[in-house]
Amino acid sequence: TRLVFAFCEGDKDQKDLLGGKGANLAEMTRLGLPVPPGFTITTEACRFYLEQGREPDLLTVQVTTALRRLEDEVGRRLGDATDPLLVSVRSGAKHSMPGMMETVLNVGLNDRSVLGLADASGDERFAWDSYRRLIQMFGKTVLGVDGEAFGSALEAAKLRKGVDSDIELEARDLQALVAEFKQIVLVHTGEEFPQEPRRQLDLATRSVFDSWNTHRARLYRRRERIPHDLGTAVNVCAMVFGNLGPTSGTGVCFTRDPATGKKGVYGDYLANAQGEDVVSGIRNTLPLDDLARLDPDSYAELTLIMRRLETHYRDLCDIEFTVERGKLWVLQTRVGKRTAAAAFRIAVQLVDEGLITMDEALERVAGAQLAQLMFPQFDAGAERNLWTRGMAASPGAAVGRIVFDPATAVAWHARGERVILVRKETNPEDLEGMIAATGILTSRGGKTSHAAVVARGMGKTAVCGAESVTVDAARRVAVAGGRTLHEGDTLSLDGSTGEVFLGELPVVPSPVVCYLEHGLEVALAGVDESTAEVIRAVDRLLAHADRVRRMRVRANADTGADADRARRMGAEGVGLCRTEHMFLGERRPLIERVVLAADAEEREAALAELVAPQIQDFVDLLTAMDGLPTTIRLLDPPLHEFLPDRAELMVKAAVARERGEVDPNDVRLLAAVERLHESNPMLGLRGVRLGLTVPGLFALQVRAIAQATAQLRKAGGNPRPEILVPLVGSVMELHLVRDEADSIVAEVAASECVDLAIPIGTMVELPRAALTAFRVAEAAEFFSFGTNDLTQTTWGFSRDDVEAGFFAAYLDKGVFTVSPFETLDASGVGRLVDIATREGRSTRPDLKVGVCGEHGGDPESIHFFHSTGLDYVSCSPFRVPVARLEAGRAML
Ligand code: PEP
Ligand code: MG
């Protein structure tokens, strides 16, 4: 097997094997762009190492061959005493995981080659600085030495010299520092810093492999739903130097603005620096325009390369580059991460520029991004108290109390607080805190700093590089403009403008929601041009999704008002009305009377009182959905949910007994509650079981639906109700309900003199219903998958408990990468969906099949339902646009 590929041997489609970075380096090499030569060690080698705990035997040999070829190509030898070749060793997995894994630069330097480097570059200072960087980076990441040890030695050296910045340290200071760093390595590891260049390379490679499994990398993958078994590739690349004086430098650029989607190139540049300095946010960067001034030739070449890459990838690219003494090198490119707004804008821009089709544009945006655009924003009209301002690094409106370290962020978040994490800059160790935070504020670093890149990836609000803020994490204070804030103070971050306000600013609905509810014209009035461009892009892409999609999208709505809103959001019907919600509140005592009735007469009287309000409920709902299918589910939850709390009643009874004031009604109530008490109510008397046990309950609901329909029909409306029976496990249950329901509908039709054909269908939310679907379909005109209960009963997980319980451990151990209550477990629960759909249709070819569990609004699940051949998904009104978009994307 090939475990090593030279850059000139691969291409961009080999991301599985070469990782994203390796595949794109290969592609750029093929395009003839100025990429330093190098080679990629495959993810397969990494997987072998992670599984077996050792490198494959072939790897050593293949690395030797690739290294020799590389040496021949550049005419230098790794770590040679005169003019040495140095290499960078970088991780690069299939999916980009910014800053999560290791990088080691300047591999090949040792006590002899540092002199060769000094000679060849004519810059002694540079050579010693590179060597101390190697020992520092290698010591920390490969040898596991605490980074602080090097950091404080460096600080001490600056202090001794009386300077502020490392730039001011001279060659002999750095030479002394190298000696000190080597001593630190010796003390901390008991061994000398490895001098042998090849050994350095092999150890660095191994540490990149190992970094796949660090805590932070696992955490990141969990969040991004990246599988844990892919492994990373390792890229070994001839070093070029951005820190060779003022005509050198390094930067990151984007072919369009990844934060807003604005047209035109965008980037950060740092003169006389190495790549890590930009990403780590250690020094504040200059905008790309400054490069145009400093080095017009390199800027012109870079501009050309950006255009070529964008044309080639037909998408926004981000590029890492280095200028070494006036010569431009491209070190990395990829299709760039971007915010939700930028994704929509850029997709439509590229269509208008003729670079991609509308179908491709639809592929480039995601339902999750649309959901993000629907989040609220700060109220522009509210009184605001500006504290400071930074770069608009990741959009959104975040309000929270400030904390200064990730551990506090996690702890406060766990007790239900919204927190803003305030840091000088972030690094990968802050990840847990960043996940816990609502927003992130840093005082250093640009739009390409770690904080910005990670926040954008997570869809989290961030303001970066707020230079006027002095962050003192040790004392837990932040100062700006003479105003000191303490841990726990409240801030409001506007990630779209970079403004930071004191206190809590009120939020208002997003303009995209305004568009979805009220249409283009209303939404465009009074918004700025960039917001208008986002809205128009959403409009065009949703319209395209509606044109191409096969599945219908309905909403789960319980009231007329809900249904109305859902309809404006594009719902094509109601897929689930949970009627139990109509029985709570002030109507609960009526239900109590039904349950507690001493005899049939009393029960019927109680039921009769519910008829009129139920009819009104359905009139409202059917009016809002006039002309569209409206699925009304008969009462589902356990009966005891409609009765008073058992513990409270017991206390009350005990007190009454003591006082000798026993109320016979209370006694009866308690007895009934005791009788109906169940240890597993979700597996007990609910759904159709309730309907078959409490006489008259379902009949009342069916009658109300029929009456409401007749009333509306006579008034000229077009109500289209469908009756849904919950928690069916056997066709027999359905037959029993049907027999009664059919006769009630016929009776109402006759007495009201209208034609009433109301389809009756069933929820499929128990494995038995799914497995006997060919029988169930005999009595059901449609199926609606209740994937919440189906997941609960298939896995045997209590839907109300597990997500707060052991799921964290399960996610950590990789039993699943996402909760099965959030994204449908395609291989287990999904199989039942597939079986039931196929077998149900084998009995009844025109069986309509939909889903109304939470999964109906989840993008990944929607794709599954599409491929399983469902007719529609139903989700909460706010997810309807997301589902429309994803149902469209599922066609591509
Ligand atoms: C379901 O179980 O998926 C469902 C839609 O019903 P409910 O959530 O009301 O139990
Ligand atoms: Mg259910």
pLDDT tens per residue across span 603-617: 999 899 999 999 999
ipTM above 0.95, yes or no: yes
| pLDDT surpasses 70 at 804 | no
| Structure confidence at residue 279 (pLDDT) | 60
Give tens-digit pLDDT for 690-717. 999 988 999 999 999 999 999 999 999 9
> Which element (helix H / strand E) includes 229?
none
Task: Give how far the C-alpha of residue 294 lies from the chain's centroid of Cα atoms, to the nearest Å.
Answer: 39
Q: Where do the CATH 3.30.1490.20 domains begin and end in the chain?
A: 4-238
- Ligand 2 ion: Cβ-proximal residues, 5 Å cutoff: 765, 786, 789
Q: Coil, strand, or helix at residue 359? A: helix
| Structure confidence at residue 633 (pLDDT) | 97
> What span, in angstroms and rounded, lies between the C-alpha atoms of 702 and 693?
16
CA of 768 to the centre of ligand 1 (A): 16
Q: Where do the CATH 3.30.470.20 domains begin and end in the chain?
A: 249-335
> Which element (helix H / strand E) includes 115?
helix 113-121
| Structure confidence at residue 242 (pLDDT) | 92
Average pLDDT across the chain, whole number: 92
> What span, in angstroms and rounded, lies between the C-alpha atoms of 530 and 523?
13
Give the count of alpha carbons within 13 A of 100, CB side only: 28
Give tens-digit pLDDT for 57-81. 999 999 999 999 999 999 999 999 9
| Strands of 80-123, DSSP E | 87-93, 103-107
By DSSP bridging, strand 782-785 and strand 439-442 are unpaired
Sign, CA dihedral 34-39-40-46, equals negative
| pLDDT surpasses 90 at 860 | yes
| pLDDT surpasses 90 at 30 | yes
For 4-238, CATH number out of 3.40.50.970, 3.40.50.150, 3.30.1490.20, 3.40.50.1260 equals 3.30.1490.20
CB 224 within 8 A of CB 457: yes
Q: What is the mean pLDDT of residues 675-702?
A: 91
Quick one: CA torsion of 696, 698, 701, 705, rounded to 10 degrees? -120
Read off the pLDDT band of 597 (50, 70, 90): confident
Percent share of the chain, pLDDT over 70: 98
Sign, CA dihedral 821-827-829-831, equals positive
Q: Where do the CATH 3.20.20.60 domains begin and end in the chain?
A: 549-582+609-638+686-795+828-889
> What span, in angstroms and rounded, lies between the C-alpha atoms of 204 and 196?
12
CA of 786 to the centre of ligand 1 (A): 5
Q: Which atom of ligand 1 is nearest to the CA of 785?
A: 3
320 lines ligand 1 (CB under 6 A): no
Q: Where do the CATH 3.50.30.10 domains begin and end in the chain?
A: 377-508
| pLDDT surpasses 90 at 719 | yes
By DSSP bridging, strand 266-271 and strand 249-254 are antiparallel
> Which element (helix H / strand E) includes 331?
strand 327-335
Read off the pLDDT band of 886 (50, 70, 90): very high
Query: Which ligand gives the minimal distance to the CA of 788?
Result: 1
Give tens-digit pLDDT for 730-776. 999 999 999 999 999 999 999 999 999 999 999 999 999 999 999 99
| Structure confidence at residue 320 (pLDDT) | 94
Q: What is the mean pLDDT of residues 256-284?
A: 81
Catalytic residues: 450, 852
Closest C-alpha residue for ligand 1 atom 10? 789
CB 99 within 8 A of CB 458: no
Task: Please return the burial class of 475, using the count of CB atoms within 10 Å of its CB with bins 0-12, 13-18 and 19+.
Answer: exposed
Give tens-digit pLDDT for 480-520. 988 999 999 999 999 888 999 999 999 888 999 999 999 99
Q: Which atom of ligand 1 is nearest to the CA of 855?
A: 3
CA of 577 to the centre of ligand 1 (A): 11
Tell me, what amino acid is at 785?
F
CB 558 within 8 A of CB 631: no
Task: Read off φ and ψ for residue 861, nearest 5 degrees.
Answer: -65, -35
| pLDDT surpasses 60 at 281 | no
For 549-582+609-638+686-795+828-889, CATH number out of 3.90.1170.40, 3.90.550.10, 1.10.1740.10, 3.20.20.60 equals 3.20.20.60
| Structure confidence at residue 448 (pLDDT) | 67
Task: Please return the burial class of 190, using the count of CB atoms within 10 Å of its CB with bins 0-12, 13-18 and 19+.
Answer: exposed
Read off the pLDDT band of 587 (50, 70, 90): confident
- What tokens does 408 get? 């506090």
Query: By C-alpha distance, which of 400, 385, 391, 388 is closest to 425?
Result: 391
> What span, in angstroms and rounded, lies between the C-alpha atoms of 38 and 179?
30
| Structure confidence at residue 783 (pLDDT) | 98
377-508 is a CATH 3.40.50.150 domain: no
| pLDDT surpasses 80 at 277 | no
CB 483 within 8 A of CB 387: yes
Q: What is the mean pLDDT of residues 835-860?
A: 96
Which of the 8 DSSP states describes residue 82?
Answer: S
Name every residue whose Cβ is closer than 8 Å to that of residue 728 and which is 6 or more positions away in sequence: 687, 688, 734, 762, 763, 764, 766, 769, 776
- Start-to-end CA distance of the chain, whole Å, equals 35
Q: Which CATH superfamily is domain 249-335 in?
A: ATP-grasp fold, B domain (3.30.470.20)
Name every residue whose Cβ is closer than 8 Å to that of residue 14 and which is 6 or more positions away in sequence: 5, 22, 23, 26
Closest C-alpha residue for ligand 1 atom 3? 786
Query: Which ligand gives the minimal distance to the CA of 579?
Result: 1
CB 619 within 8 A of CB 712: yes
| pLDDT surpasses 70 at 432 | yes
Give tens-digit pLDDT for 528-568. 999 999 999 999 999 999 999 999 999 999 999 989 999 99
Read off the pLDDT band of 595 (50, 70, 90): confident
